[in-house]
Every structure is written in C-alpha cells, then in structure tokens.
C-alpha cells in the first residue's frame, strides 16, 4: 500500500531527528580549546651540569628553581650529566628543552641540528651580559645566537693542603709523577678527567714545557702536536687512581680514597671545604683550560615558552650571583658580582674574575682550524682518549 506524501514527510523528519540525536550523542566531549601561541606549557626539562640548577635540596639558601616555578607555573625537571659527550648524546636522543652546554659540546649540537637559534628579542636581559660573551664563538655561529651564556670559570688544580703545604706551581704534579712531599710515589693518588677534551690540558702543559712543538691553541693540534699530547697522557695513565666525571664521586675520593691532587671544578672544591676537608685550589703557571657554558634550546623543545622564561630568569643578577656562589663559577652578568648576599663582596675576585683572558675555554676541535693548515678533529680525540684511559 502506498503511503501518503504527508506520511513520507513525517518519516523524513523523524529520520533527521534520529540522526541529529545520534550526532549529539557522539559529541558529548567539549571541543578542544586552542592554546595561545605564547601560552606557558606548565613544564620545563633541563639537562645541566651538577650544581647548576638548584632548588635548595642541599642548602635551602641556594634555590633559584622554586621562585621561578612560583612565578611562571613552569615546573622544572632536571637531569645532570658529567661530561659534554653525555650531554650531546642525551640531547640528540631528545626529551629536553634546555641544556647548559660547554664549548666542547655547543658546536656539535649546532652542526648536528640538535639545537635552534635563540630569538634574543625574547630575552630582554641579553643586553646586560659581559660584552666578551655576547658573541662568543662557541655559541654565536654563522651570525646566529645559539643560546644564552650562563656561567664561566677555570678548570682548577685541586689539592690536599696537608700534602701540599704550598700550592703546586705547575700541572707537573698530575702529569709527571715522581714523589710527593711525603716522600711516597704519586701513583694512585692522582686523578684525571674522563672526557676527550682533557687532551687539551695535556696540550696546554706542552705549550709551556715543549715550545718547539709550536702549539698555539690547545684545541688546534696538528698530527705531531697531537701525538705528543697523547704520549704525555699515556705516561700519566699509571699514576691515575680514577678518571673522574662524577663530581660527587670525586668529592668522596678526596675524602676517603687517598687522592690528593687533580684537575677539578670549583664546585668540588667548595663542597670539600664546606665539609671541612683540607682542600684548596690554584691555577698553575701554565694557565688553565676552562668552560664558558651556554643555555641552549632544543630544536624540538616541547616547552619552548617556559624555556624562554627560564632563559630570561637565568640572566637576573640575583640568579647569576647565587649560581656563582654555589658552584664557584663566575657570572656572565657583571652586575651579579655586586650586592649578592651569598656571593659576598669578594666572591667574583675569589672565583677568578680577573682570569678570563688567561683561560683557554673548551671548544670542539675541528679539522678546519685557524692556527694550523689542518687539525685533528674531535672524532679522533674521542676514540684515542678512550684508548688512553684503557691503558692502550
């Protein structure tokens, strides 16, 4: 039997109503709200050197993370690394927004596309930086800023003051062996750094003691110079108690393992002195290598807006001074040397602010170099230093 046209119309309206109700049932969830391009993401992941990003766990006075979190709502997660190689590896794997990279890592991160240029217009305090650091070659590359300078300092010679009544005047105490002031051999009481960049420390020593080699820059070595540095390190190997990279382990070794002298960072010196250990540090006559660290932004940072907030926060005079007081480093913002309660009136002088021009700051060795026709690249440094540490 044929239905009337009115019946057809009623069926059509009913079907439309059912479809509409069905669609509504499927879309009970609210539509997503678009996030503003500059909205803070609520989190920040930082890869850093030990002692660089503190929230007062060891000393409540040294906390520059909690105020940042309270101010921005960006909750900070920190992972520490002991060598630049470790930092490059972890950053390449991803999962971090920022890294406090030294000069022997920064160029590798840039060339590998792991980090991105920083828009310094989003970091208003960039203009307060030390002029010598604003366009330093380890982060200002091809006319672009790849990060924000954070802290700098020397690799010091740390020593036990009961063993050495006077500060050692030369790095020979870690390279040449012999007997220490107590009349016993140096063997087993010396440490060296577990990182290929330590080859530069050997090269710096040779600059002073074997000038005929013609080394002009410890990061730019031709084959002959490089071979001489490796030979010195092989000679050192039997003396070494441990190739250190963990700052806390080195502190323990100087406390209870009979180690009395090593290249180190001011961070370990401060930690040992705070625990009333007989420890001091010096920069010997040959000079020192050192680090000028840059906070760099991952190319695929998950929290870029929180990261930019941190970059600006990191350049405040108070944060800069507080970091320097804790780590034993130097601020990249000169104003931080004044009126900081934790750093004190003489803090920057004590930490070596006048040594800037005497420090050979870590850099990634490349085949193309300025002082030689060609130089041994870092890939060789990495392979050959691993062999040295293995006794080969």
Q: Do 312 and 98 contact (CB within 8 A), yes or no?
A: no
Condensed to tens digits (0 to 9), the pLDDT of residues 287-340 reads 999 999 999 999 999 999 999 999 999 999 999 999 999 999 999 999 999 999
pLDDT at 29: 43
* Region of residue 344 (phi > 0: left; psi between -120 and 50: alpha; otherwise: beta): left
Q: Report yes or no: 283 and 352 within 8 Å, Cβ to Cβ.
A: yes
**Residue 345, SS3?**
coil
Which two three-digit tokens encode residue 37?
């391009």
**How confident is the model at residue 33, as a pLDDT?**
44
Kind of pairing, strands 75-80 and 261-264? unpaired
Query: What pLDDT is stored for residue 307 in this prediction?
Result: 98
Instruction: Quote the Cα angle for 364-365-367, to 5°.
Output: 135
Spatial CA neighbour of 156 closest among 8, 261, 307: 261
Domains and CATH numbers, the chain: 43-153+291-361 (3.40.190.10), 155-288+365-389 (3.40.190.10)
Residue 35 is predicted with a pLDDT of: 55
What is d(CA 328, CA 48) in angstroms, rounded to the nearest whole number?
16
Regions of the chain short of the pLDDT cut 70: 1-35
Helix, strand, coil tally for the chain in percent (to 5)? 40, 20, 40
Residue with token string 């006794």? 391
Angstrom distances, CA of residue 181 to CA of 158, 172, 186, 223 = 16, 14, 10, 36
- Whole-number Å distance between alpha carbons of 242 and 221: 26
Count other C-beta atoms under 10 Å from residue 16's C-beta: 10
* Residue 152, SS3 per DSSP: strand
Please give the DSSP secondary-structure letter assigned to residue 112.
T
Per-residue model confidence (pLDDT) at position 6: 40
Is residue 237 helix, strand or coil?
A: helix
Phi, psi for 97 (deg, rounded to 5)? -90, -40
* 8 A C-beta contact, residue 279 and residue 254: yes
């Amino acid at each position: 039997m044929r239905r009337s046209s009115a019946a057809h119309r009623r069926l059509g309206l009913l079907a439309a109503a059912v479809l509409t109700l069905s669609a509504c049932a499927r879309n009970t969830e609210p539509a997503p709200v678009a996030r503003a391009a500059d909205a803070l993401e609520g989190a920040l992941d930082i890869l850093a050197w030990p002692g660089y990003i503190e929230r007062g766990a060891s000393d409540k006075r040294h906390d520059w993370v909690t105020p940042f979190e309270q101010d921005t709502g960006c909750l900070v997660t920190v992972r520490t690394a002991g060598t630049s190689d470790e930092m490059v590896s972890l950053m390449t794997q991803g999962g971090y927004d920022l890294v406090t990279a030294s000069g022997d890592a920064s160029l590798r991160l840039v060339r590998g596309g792991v980090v991105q240029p920083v828009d310094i217009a989003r970091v208003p305090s960039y203009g307060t930086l030390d002029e010598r650091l604003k366009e330093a070659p380890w982060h200002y590359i091809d006319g672009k800023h790849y990060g924000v300078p954070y802290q700098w300092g020397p690799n010091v010679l740390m020593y036990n003051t009961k063993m050495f009544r006077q500060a050692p005047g030369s790095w020979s105490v870690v390279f040449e062996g012999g007997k220490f002031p107590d009349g016993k051999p140096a063997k087993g009481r010396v440490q060296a750094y577990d990182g290929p960049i330590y080859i530069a420390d050997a090269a710096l020593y040779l600059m002073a003691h074997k000038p005929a080699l013609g080394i002009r820059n410890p990061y730019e070595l031709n084959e002959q110079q490089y071979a001489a540095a490796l030979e010195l390190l092989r000679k050192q190997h039997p003396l070494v108690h441990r190739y250190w990279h963990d700052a806390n382990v080195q502190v323990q070794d100087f406390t209870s393992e009979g180690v009395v002298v090593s290249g180190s960072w001011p961070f370990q010196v401060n930690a040992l002195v705070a625990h009333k250990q007989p420890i001091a540090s010096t920069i010997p006559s040959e000079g020192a290598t050192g680090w000028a660290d840059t906070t760099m932004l991952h190319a695929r940072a998950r929290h870029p807006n929180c990261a930019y907030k941190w970059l600006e926060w990191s350049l405040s005079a108070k944060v800069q001074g507080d970091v320097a007081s804790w780590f034993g480093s130097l601020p990249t913002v000169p104003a931080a040397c004044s009126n900081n309660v934790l750093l004190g009136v003489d803090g920057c002088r004590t930490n070596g602010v006048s040594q800037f021009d005497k420090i050979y700051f870590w850099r990634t060795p490349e085949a193309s170099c300025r002082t030689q026709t060609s130089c041994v690249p870092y890939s060789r440094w990495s392979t050959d230093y691993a062999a040295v540490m293995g006794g080969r």
